[in-house]
Amino acid sequence: MTVVASEVDSSTDVLDALEAESIHIIREVLAEFERPGLLFSGGKDSVVVLHLLAKAVAPARVPIPVVHVDTGHNFDEVIAFRDATVERYGLNLVVGSMQEYIDDGRLRENADGTRNRLQTRVLLDTIEQNKFDVVFGGARRDEDKARAKERILSLRDEFGGWDPRNQRPEVWSLYNGRHAAGWHVRAFPISNWTERDIWAYIERERIQLPPIYFAHEREVFEREGMIRAVTPVSQPNDDEPVLTRTVRYRTVGDASCTGAVLSEARTVPEVLDELALSTLTERGATRADDRISAAAMEDRKKEGYF
């Protein structure tokens, strides 16, 4: 019998319930759709979804491609982790290259040099070119107000757009995957997880992550209250001194728009202890692209963003 997180009493292990719900969703999607894919950034949430997917189909191998939109501004450690993960699982990796779009003129660089919002065009083209009718994502409702509005199965129209005012009800654990030709569905099997649930599950399952999630020394500079790494795509201005600090990352995005946090947490248990005391939000404190406006994420999602 499938256990749904919302139906579990307090004596039942929360992680067991969340895992069971997510695997149920994954199996429903695999059974209902013809061409699924998994959006894989190399971040902790997509890593957990991949782990759940592998459990859902075990002892078979993961049967669907993983899709990575490579902005060209990724941290080197994350790309190395992505490639090692693909090899370890024996995955089919589909890459949408933003640099190719910029080089041939299909996209133009933003004036501030960041590329996060430009991902949407590459993402939607990659979904269309590979004829994916559903793609799994690692979004969680506790991350952001817009993500809190998403259904477990969320429709995208023929332009890849999302309408938060026009969503299907989802009662109990019944999911509706019907969609019109040319439309597709985003599936979010870890919607009901929190950041702390993710880390607790990573600890329990001994899941590997990119090393930038753990405290390490790095050359950084501060800009608009965020700690930015010194990288080829993220350089300090003359009035921004470079310092060596012990930091880690709570989210994995582009080096040009993702901030680090001061931290001494070098292991998963230490990260969990740190989270228990933190008053900073996961994305708002470390993602410059989410600071543009209160509705920044929702505006991007309406256009087809992750």
- Cβ neighbours of residue 225 under 8 Å, at least 6 residues apart? none
**Beta strands per DSSP E along 104-225:** 134-136, 153-156, 184-187, 216-223
For residues 287-302, b (16+ Cβ closer than 10 Å) or e, as one string?
A: bbbbbeeeebbbebbb
- Residue 291: what pLDDT? 59
Q: How far is CA 181 from CA 34, 166, 178, 184, 304, in A?
A: 13, 18, 10, 8, 17
CATH class entry, domain 10-197+295-303: alpha beta
Question: Is the four-CA dihedral 222, 225, 229, 234 of positive or negative sign?
Answer: negative
Asked if residues 62 and 88 have their Cβ atoms less than 8 Å apart, the reply is: no
The amino acid sitting at 231 is T
In the chain, residues under CATH classification 3.40.50.620 are 10-197+295-303
Whole-number Å distance between alpha carbons of 97 and 92: 16
Helices (H) and strands (E) in the chain, counts: 9, 10
Say which residue the tokens 């938060």 belong to. Answer: 164
Q: Tens-digit pLDDT profile for the chain (306 aa)?
A: 444 444 544 445 999 999 999 999 999 999 999 999 999 999 999 999 999 999 999 999 999 999 999 999 999 999 999 999 999 999 999 999 999 999 999 999 988 888 888 899 999 999 999 999 999 999 999 988 888 889 999 999 999 999 998 888 888 888 999 999 999 999 999 999 999 999 999 999 999 999 999 999 999 999 988 999 999 999 999 999 999 999 999 998 899 889 999 999 999 999 999 999 887 777 666 766 655 566 778 888 888 888
* CA nearest neighbour of 232 among 99, 107, 46, 120: 99
Identify the burial level of 183 via C-beta atoms within 10 angstroms of its C-beta, where 0-12 means exposed, 13-18 middle and 19 or more buried. middle
Whole-number Å distance between alpha carbons of 198 and 15: 9
Question: Is the four-CA dihedral 93, 126, 260, 202 of positive or negative sign?
Answer: negative
Whole-number Å distance between alpha carbons of 179 and 184: 7
- What is the DSSP code (8-state) at residue 212? G
DSSP-based three-state secondary structure for 134 = strand
pLDDT, tens digit, 9 for 90 and up, residues 144-180: 888 888 999 999 999 999 999 888 888 888 899 999 9
Whole-number Å distance between alpha carbons of 24 and 4: 9
- Residue 296: what pLDDT? 78
| pTM (2 d.p.) | 0.90
